[in-house]
Amino acid sequence: MLISALSTPADADRFRQAHAVLQTHLLMTRDLPIGRDFLFPADSTSVRAAIRELTEIEHTHGRDLHVDYTQINDYFLLRIIGDPAQRDEIENYFK
């Protein structure tokens, strides 16, 4: 998981907090050939902040996973993709 690659305790705390919020609000997942989609409610300000925070941290400190999100109506769709060797890491991202 990314937490081991974070250089400061502050970054690790930001990641843990964002991850925990999203983990508790996860509505459903959808498998993709090269990753997975995660669906969250967009009506929560804590989810909105957490998804932005997690994506920013992944973009800044992440290694090989590609993480991005978009809002679709009342939902946030977070997409995580990578190569086949990262399948387990992606599938277990919010477990």
Q: How far apart are CA 14 and CA 75, in angstroms?
A: 22
Domains by residue range for the chain, with CATH: 26-91 (3.30.70)
CA trace torsion 63, 15, 60, 73 (10° rounding): 100
The model carries a pTM of 0.90
Q: How much is the average pLDDT of 20-26? A: 97
| pLDDT at residue 6 in the model | 66
At which residue do the structure tokens 């995580």 appear? Answer: 80
pLDDT beyond 70 at 1: no
| pLDDT at residue 2 in the model | 53
pLDDT digits (tens, 9 = 90+) for 24-83: 999 999 999 999 999 999 998 999 999 999 999 888 887 789 999 999 999 999 999 999
